Amino acid sequence: MKLYDYFRSSAAYRVRIALNLKGLKYDRAFVHLTRGGGEQFSDRYGQINPQNLVPALADGDQVLTQSLAIIEYLEETHPEPPLAPVSPAERARVRGIALAIACDIHPIDNLRVLNYLTKQLGVTDEQRTAWYRHWVETGLKSVEALVAGHPMTGRYCHGDTPSIADICLVPQLFNARRFDCDLSGCPELLRIDGACNEIPAFADAAPPNQPDAE
Amino acid sequence: MKLYDYFRSSAAYRVRIALNLKGLKYDRAFVHLTRGGGEQFSDRYGQINPQNLVPALADGDQVLTQSLAIIEYLEETHPEPPLAPVSPAERARVRGIALAIACDIHPIDNLRVLNYLTKQLGVTDEQRTAWYRHWVETGLKSVEALVAGHPMTGRYCHGDTPSIADICLVPQLFNARRFDCDLSGCPELLRIDGACNEIPAFADAAPPNQPDAE
């Protein structure tokens, strides 16, 4: 398998965690998202992923896109260790937390959106940072509400096994810290983040530990 | 089952299509997203979905959130007719298309984001509409590239059976038309949309056909 990767991409970070948790070896191609206007916009990468986003995962002839689709694929092709519980209702909870981050926080603060704010709308750096923090803080507070005090929350977002929910949470919190977001409303998420980062599969996937880190 | 619904919510529209395709009967509670500052922000609805977003689906004691998590739950609890293919690689393709819409188009153009542009950033109506169109048009063009000419595309996004990909596509195209987006770059998506809307499960789920439509 070959991962099209960028150290700072939070969606790629999710896939790195999943590959590590599954104990899968993989090659990598690095796609620099800011150099030369963004290597993801090159014709060569556009052939791999017409969405011009990282990550993509090549497995044999198949090229997979979208981090959560890739992770569900890894779960179906390499079921051990599982990244989701067994019962449909519990799976829905785990996926609901993952999607609350992957749909409703991350895309609104993605690099291309921030660039549009600056270039097309001419917002100030302060307004851009306030935008970033607003969506992260509002979004994480609602995730905190899904997790804190819930009977199914354990050492991790769901029970005592790391799941797709944690795989989305940890990269989002990494980004939140990078932009100095106020995380004081999210003690339960911070506790879970700490527990996840004690696992080498999570720690090894962190942006500063990647070969292309700057 | 009880769906917390709003006729114009494109995420709720997805769940309505899935419920209809599965032939499932459901009750509804309507959550008006603009009346009185938005009924989704009421304490009562916040107890149901701390994310303050529609849809939510109550099934017995369980309340599920996030449209794609709800649809995967329906797929697991009511497998017939299937909304995704059998092989993991094909499932990844279907989920990849669905997520390209659900993550990378829809949330950026969600009502709360548009409101932030107007209220916090003071953009003009023209700029707001340009924003909307930019993300829809860019996003749908990349979905067109995933679908057009692909050997697995059939009458629908994947083969000749409607799937989760089509369930995300049709509501997004409905919204795109509402905001007069330029869809000339997406002939294959328009063809598939037409094929989907010949199916009563899709047509019956459309916003104008809901009891709370205005």
B14, exposed or middle or buried, with CB in 10 Å at 0-12, 13-18, 19+?
buried
Q: Residue B214: inside a domain, yes or no?
A: no
> Looking at the structure, do residues B13 and B41 belong to the same domain, yes or no?
yes
pTM of the entire predicted model: 0.96
Pairs from B44-52 (Cβ < 8 Å, separation ≥ 24): B45/B4, B48/B4, B49/B4, B50/A142, B50/A145, B50/A146, B51/A100, B51/A104, B51/A142, B51/A145, B51/A146, B52/A142
pLDDT (tens digit per residue) in B73-88 = 999 999 999 999 999 9
> Looking at the structure, do residues B94 and B198 belong to the same domain, yes or no?
yes
Return the exposure string of B29-45: e unless at least 16 CB atoms fall within 10 Å of the residue's CB, then b.
ebbebeeeebbbeeeeb
Structurally, chain B folds into a number of domains equal to 2
- Scanning every residue of chain B, which has its alpha carbon at the shortest distance from the alpha carbon of A92? B69
Q: Residue B207: inside a domain, yes or no?
A: no
Q: Residue B111: inside a domain, yes or no?
A: yes
Boundary (domain end) residue, out of B57, B81, B105: B81
Q: What is the CATH number of the domain that holds B66?
A: 3.40.30.10
Q: Residue A192: inside a domain, yes or no?
A: yes
> Looking at the structure, do residues B53 and B103 belong to the same domain, yes or no?
no
What is the pLDDT at residue A51? 87
Q: Do A113 and B108 touch (CB under 8 A)?
A: yes
Mean pLDDT along residues B106-132: 95
Q: Which of A118, A121, A138, A189 to probe the B interface (max B CBs under 10 A)?
A: A121
> Looking at the structure, do residues B18 and B56 belong to the same domain, yes or no?
yes
ipTM value = 0.95
> Looking at the structure, do residues A118 and A186 belong to the same domain, yes or no?
yes
> Looking at the structure, do residues A198 and A94 belong to the same domain, yes or no?
yes
> Looking at the structure, do residues A8 and A54 belong to the same domain, yes or no?
yes
Per-residue DSSP letter, A24: -
pLDDT (tens digit per residue) in B139-149 = 999 999 999 99
Which residues 133-192 of B have a C-beta within 8 angstroms of A? Answer: 134, 142, 145-146
Q: What are phi and psi of B131, to 5 degrees?
A: -55, -55
Helix (H) or strand (E) segment spanning residue A192: helix A187-197
Q: Give the closest of A59, A77, A127 to B121, CB-based.
A: A127
Mean pLDDT of chain B: 96
* CA–CA dist A191, A155 (Å, integer): 8
> Looking at the structure, do residues B108 and B32 belong to the same domain, yes or no?
no
What is the pLDDT at residue B36? 82
> Looking at the structure, do residues B40 and B99 belong to the same domain, yes or no?
no
Confidence of residue B180 (pLDDT cuts 50, 70, 90): very high
Q: What is the CATH number of the domain that holds B124?
A: 1.20.1050.10
Q: Which residues pair with A4 in a beta bridge?
A: A29, A56
Q: Give the closest of B91, B100, B131 to A51, CB-based.
A: B100
Residue B77 touches partner A, C-beta closer than 8 Å: yes
Q: Residue B20: inside a domain, yes or no?
A: yes
Which residues of B are less than 8 Å from A102 in CB distance?
99, 103
What is the pLDDT at residue B2? 97
Residue B136 belongs to domain spanning: 88-202
Q: Residue A213: inside a domain, yes or no?
A: no
Q: Do A66 and B96 touch (CB under 8 A)?
A: yes
Boundary (domain end) residue, out of B81, B107, B128: B81
Show pLDDT as tens, one digit a residue, over chain A (214 residues).
999 999 999 999 999 999 999 999 999 999 998 888 889 888 899 888 988 889 999 999 899 999 999 999 999 999 999 999 999 999 999 999 999 999 999 999 988 899 999 999 999 999 999 999 999 999 999 999 999 999 999 999 999 999 999 999 999 999 999 999 999 999 999 999 999 999 999 999 999 999 999 9
What is the pLDDT at residue B41? 87
How far B83 CA lies from chain A's nearest CA (Å)? Answer: 15
Q: Residue B212: inside a domain, yes or no?
A: no
Q: Residue B208: inside a domain, yes or no?
A: no
> Looking at the structure, do residues A164 and A134 belong to the same domain, yes or no?
yes
What is the pLDDT at residue A128? 96
> Looking at the structure, do residues A183 and A164 belong to the same domain, yes or no?
yes
Boundary (domain end) residue, out of B42, B59, B81: B81
* CA–CA dist B2, B12 (Å, integer): 12
B110 closest CA partner among A107, A125, A27? A107
> Looking at the structure, do residues B96 and B196 belong to the same domain, yes or no?
yes
